[in-house]
Amino acid sequence: MCLAFIASLLTWSSSFNIVSAQSPDVVIPVPAEVTMTKGTYKFEELPKIKVVYSAKGFENPEAYSMKITPKGITIRASGEAGVFYAHQTLAQMTRDGAVKEIRCCEIFDSPRFPYRGMHFDVSRHFRNLDFLKRQVDVMASFKMNRMHIHLTDAAGWRMQIDAYPRLTDFAAWRPQVTWKDWWTADRSYVEEGTPGAYGGYYTKEEMRELVEYARERHIEVIPEIEMPSHSEEVLAAYPELGCSNEPYRDCDFCVGSEKTFGFLETVLSEVMEVFPYEYIHIGGDEAGKSRWPSCPACQKRMEEEGLKDVDELQSYLIRRIEKFVLSKGRRIIGWDEILQGGLAPEATVMSWRGTEGGIEAMKQGHDVIMSPGKYCYLDHAQDAPFKEPESIGGYLPLEHVYGYEPVEDSMPSDKLHHLIGVQANLWTEYITTDAHAEYMYWPRAVAIAETGWSMPENKNFPDFRKRVREAMEVLRSKGYSTFDLDTEYGERKLAQTGIDHLAKDAEVVYNNPMNPSYPGAGEGTLTDGIIGGWTYSDGRWQGFLSDLDVTLDLGAVTPVRYVGGTFMQLVSPYVFMPSRVEIFVSEDGNDFTRVAEVWNDVSQKAEDLLFRSFDTICDVKARYVRYVAHQSGVAGGWIFIDEIVVN
């Protein structure tokens, strides 16, 4: 690739749109050290680039230095990776050849973390090899070095396995094009070649081609084979691997069956023949484990192994698979659920449900990759949802992604070396097309790239926004689909200003407790004068799986003319409007009078993000206001409220 880059310099035309000399302040990720010097370097037909390999001062194999003088450019590094990254810096400074003059400077650069990853969910919606290669090119330009491919899930198996041809002849194909239509239908699979069948898979040769393409750009490809859950497609094709032995009945492998381990070990053996690198991702997330308590084989396994519960049964599977993978000279990565029941001895944990799981794994001496959904899940809308394409919902703008700091105060200082990196994840249930996927990745994944490479003291969002805006112009000129920062609407307008009302800072008594998973800002959330934003997880909304039932103390009897609270609905994550709201008032806190009953009129089938105020106009005197919002009636449904306003 270094030679290829130099070759591209040789083919530059003599016509340039940009005349002024370019400085390194356009580079992403921001370099560790930059010293400006006098003069400029003008590119001629044959650029003068000298490469010197030196181990001294370059203990990190990805580190490099670059000295630009009027006479030429000297790159120093200890190996090819450092030289490659120096060329990526140079490519950005020249806008891939659009600039013929750059300012002289000296750069020393080295990554903060060794693992800087991006995740590709090709199960829910299949992406062809050309798409993956195009993303590798962008990853490399921003110095990312791990490509995590989610090859298997209920929506389709995506890699050729010689020993189990039904995985690609059958389990890779479905009747519906979109995941959403398939999920709401009967979730069946069809034979390859069935008219109208949607799906696809990679041959081993295609995966080897991707591995080599990425290797040339210093990116390791990490395959993920899900277990024990998210395996409906496998168990439809090979039902003997499930607890029921019937197709379309199970989603978890039967851990009591030796056939399960024969299958998994065979599959992993074939996968490891194609992917040569250290890590194999084995999933381990969101296992339902619902059939294991009643499965004779699973119960027998638990008795024989002395396992006290199904969490330990899952741990048994993970540990046994790890032992097998280690025997092949490899290591496993798993989502943070693999902590349940006891962590496998050598496992690396990818922390997605916040950072707590990752911190616990670090304390136990395990390597950790941070990918908390609050900052790193790019399937959330990156701008006001009303103007964005369909997504799983939520709101994760570029600034929020960029603001993530992986090192937390609660992390033990003697364990920080176990924090090996960060990763951007994009789950594609609602992302059907390649263009939509690119739009969701870029530029937010670039923010993760800078977090993974650059030291926090060198980061600055206004500066980054300027740099990444220019970088996205370059990508769009190459045909990529990216979010346009010039059209950014931003946060919900009501959330950008506070609100003053009679109940502001009033004491709130919770007759039913809030859900601890979504406490907002705690017991003051409903009267703090702060309105919630586009997403229920922003710390301003408070969530309930039971009825919301609270009493506000206004401090003194006062005229009350209005009482209201705003709720949101987003059906994909099971957030619904309450079925009805009752509003009561009292002067003494004992005798309450109902002044309103407000019924919901928002359809539970409406898929857009919606807000509705359940309120009333009244003419009473009261010190206490009781506000009761009844659950939607949807099993497992949430209700979220941001503020109860009294005037």
User: Which residue of the set 181, 246, 278, 286 is catalytic?
Assistant: 286
Q: Nearest-CA neighbor of 285 among 239, 353, 192?
A: 353
User: Which residue of the set 153, 232, 450, 528 is catalytic?
Assistant: 153
Residue 55 token pair: 């181990």
Q: Is 400 known to be catalytic?
A: no
Mean pLDDT by 10 residues, the chain (647 residues): 41 35 89 96 85 90 96 96 97 89 96 98 98 98 98 98 98 97 96 98 98 98 98 98 97 98 98 98 96 98 97 97 98 97 96 96 97 96 94 94 97 97 97 98 98 97 97 96 97 92 97 95 95 94 97 98 97 95 97 98 93 97 98 96 97
- Domain 493-646 is of which CATH architecture? Sandwich (2.60)
Query: What integer pLDDT is reported at residue 563 of this predicted model?
Result: 98
Q: What are phi and psi of 216, to 5 degrees?
A: -60, -20
Q: What one-character-per-residue DSSP string does 322-362 give?
A: HHHHHHTT-EEEEEGGGGTT---TT-EEEE-SSSHHHHHHH
Q: Nearest-CA neighbor of 422 among 135, 142, 185?
A: 142
Fold (topology level) of 2-109:
Chitobiase; domain 2 (3.30.379)
User: Which residue of the set 148, 230, 281, 380 is catalytic?
Assistant: 230
Q: Is 153 known to be catalytic?
A: yes
For the chain, report the end-to-end CA distance as a whole number of angstroms: 66
2-109 and 493-646 share one fold: no
- Beta strands 279-283 and 610-630 are unpaired
pTM of the model: 0.93
Domains of the chain, residue spans: 2-109, 493-646
Q: Is 230 known to be catalytic?
A: yes
